[in-house]
């Protein structure tokens, strides 16, 4: 595939798309079958590692657990099939100790993606990652399901809506929500969201 010619931006010279990708203010990844083909410097900084440690590896290394990687992957498919785009907040895991990060610490991340082929959404995609924690790790010990419920609570969903998204009953969601409230010593949902964002 040929590289497109740079486009002149109102007489300021051609745009260097590689430089734009590399210096984007959010982490960016090009993927194939949930494997990272290329990434920018911001992603390396966010996950505390070098580019060579990410290229060719599955996104699974960035998740707190294999179960979350698999569940979120399944949940993405019908949404990507329908519109080609997906976005959520989720807890991710730093991979290394570079750039001021600590290997293994978890943090809240806003993830967006675009499938290049809606019929086979994991085949090839473009993904962005934005650190919502400003380098603050998520300190409360949460189970994988609690992390998933917390991510939906942060989106403002009700227990019934969360149940539909995660494929569990709203009563199960309410149990997890109650545990989150206790773990974060939050009296209201608004306070819980604030504490989740702060880690």
What is residue 35's predicted lDDT score, i.e. its pLDDT? 98
Q: Which residues contact 33 (CB under 8 A, 6 or more apart)?
A: 122, 123
Q: Domain holding 53: CATH number?
A: 3.30.450.20
Same domain, 122 and 154: no
Last residue of some domain: 138, 164, 187? 138
Structural domains in the chain (count): 2
Same domain, 147 and 120: no
pLDDT in tens, 104-130: 988 889 999 999 999 999 999 999 999
What is residue 186's predicted lDDT score, i.e. its pLDDT? 85
pLDDT in tens, 17-55: 899 999 999 999 999 999 999 999 999 999 999 999 999
Same domain, 83 and 100: yes
Cα separations in angstroms, 65 against 13, 60, 62, 160, 175: 46, 8, 9, 25, 21
Q: Which residues contact 16 (CB under 8 A, 6 or more apart)?
A: 6
Same domain, 131 and 143: no
pLDDT in tens, 79-110: 999 999 999 989 899 999 998 888 998 888 99
Same domain, 161 and 112: no
Same domain, 131 and 157: no
Same domain, 71 and 23: yes
| Domain interval for residue 19 | 1-138
DSSP string across the chain: -PPPPPPB-TTS-B--HHHHHHT-SSEEEEEETTEEEEE-HHHHHHHTS-GGGTTT-BGGGGSS-HHHHHHHHHHHHHHHHHHSEEEEEEEEE---SGGG--TT-EEEEEEEEEES-TTSTTSSEEEEEEESSTT----S---HHHHHHHHHHHTT--HHHHHHHHTS-HHHHHHHHHHHHHHTT-SSHHHHHHHHHH-
Last residue of some domain: 94, 122, 138? 138
Last residue of some domain: 85, 108, 138? 138
pLDDT in tens, 122-175: 999 999 999 987 545 556 678 888 888 988 888 888 999 999 988 999 899 999
Predicted TM-score (pTM) above 0.75? no
Same domain, 83 and 134: yes
Report the distance separating Cα 148 and Cα 135, nearest Å.
20
What is residue 144's predicted lDDT score, i.e. its pLDDT? 84
Same domain, 166 and 124: no
**Is it the case that residue 11 has pLDDT exceeding 60?**
no
Contact (Cβ atoms closer than 8 angstroms) between residue 180 and residue 149: yes
How much is the CA Rg of the chain, to the nearest whole Å?
18
Q: Domain holding 167: CATH number?
A: 1.10.10.10
What is residue 85's predicted lDDT score, i.e. its pLDDT? 95
What is residue 147's predicted lDDT score, i.e. its pLDDT? 86
137 CB burial (10 A radius; 0-12, 13-18, 19+) = middle
Same domain, 77 and 165: no
Same domain, 97 and 159: no
Contact (Cβ atoms closer than 8 angstroms) between residue 63 and residue 69: yes
Same domain, 127 and 148: no
């Amino acid at each position: 595939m040929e590289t497109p010619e740079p486009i002149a931006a109102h007489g300021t010279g051609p745009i260097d798309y590689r430089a734009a990708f590399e210096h984007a203010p959010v982490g960016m990844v090009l993927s194939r079958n949930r494997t990272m083909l290329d990434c920018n410097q911001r992603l390396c900084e966010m996950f505390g590692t070098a580019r060579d440690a990410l290229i060719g590896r599955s996104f699974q290394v960035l998740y707190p657990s294999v179960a979350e990687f698999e569940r979120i992957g399944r949940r993405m498919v019908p949404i990507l099939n329908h519109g080609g785009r997906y976005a959520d907040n989720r807890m991710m895991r730093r991979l290394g100790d570079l750039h001021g990060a600590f290997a293994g610490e978890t943090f809240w991340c806003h993830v967006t993606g675009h499938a290049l082929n809606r019929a086979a959404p994991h085949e090839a995609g473009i993904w962005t990652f934005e650190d919502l924690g400003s380098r603050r790790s998520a300190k409360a010990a949460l189970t994988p399901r609690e992390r998933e419920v917390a991510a939906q609570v942060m989106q403002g969903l009700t227990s019934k809506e969360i149940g539909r998204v995660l494929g569990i009953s709203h009563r199960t969601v309410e149990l997890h929500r109650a545990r989150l409230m206790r773990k974060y010593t939050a009296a209201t949902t608004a306070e819980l969201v604030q504490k989740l964002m702060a880690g």
